[in-house]
Amino acid sequence: DGGITQSPKYLFRKEGQNVTLSCEQNLNHDAMYWYRQDPGQGLRLIYYSQIVNDFQKGDIAEGYSVSREKKESFPLTVTSAQKNPTAFYLCASSIQGGRGYTFGSGTRLTVV
């Protein structure tokens, strides 16, 4: 079955640590996206990538970094510079030019 997989489902980070969230898709989608969701809130765009080896900042990129070395993979690193990283992180993918997005099941990151 084609889909998009995020791992891990739950992640705990100590203050000052960097952590990397995984996102893999086998849908052959060109575009991939990372969103952050806070309780009772909508989705805010962190980074997106339209093509391999290229990515763009979204609305809240500060404290985050990404890479797109393979079409299937778009990992997100939450750095120590992100002051309030506790949130639910969602990865999505789509064909080039949009239409509907396919979402992963999310990673819940908690700073302890």
Partner 1 sequence: SQQGEEDPQALSIQEGENATMNCSYKTSINNLQWYRQNSGRGLVHLILIRSNEREKHSGRLRVTLDTSKKSSSLLITASRAADTASYFCATGSRDSGAGSYQLTFGKGTKLSVIP
Binding interface with partner 1 (CB under 8 A): 6, 31, 33, 35, 40-45, 48, 50, 56, 59, 88, 90, 92, 94, 97-106, 108
| Nearer to partner 1 (CB atom), residue 67 or residue 103 | 103
* d(C-alpha 6, C-alpha 90), whole Å: 8
Residue 55 near residue 66, CB atoms below 8 Å = yes
* Residue 45 or 61 with smaller CB distance to partner 1: 45
Beta carbons of 11 and 108 less than 8 angstroms apart: yes
The least CB distance from residue 42 to partner 1, in Å, is: 4
- Of 35 and 64, CB closest to partner 1: 35
CB-nearer residue toward partner 1: 16 or 39: 39
Q: Nearest approach, Cβ of 24 to partner 1 (angstroms)?
A: 14
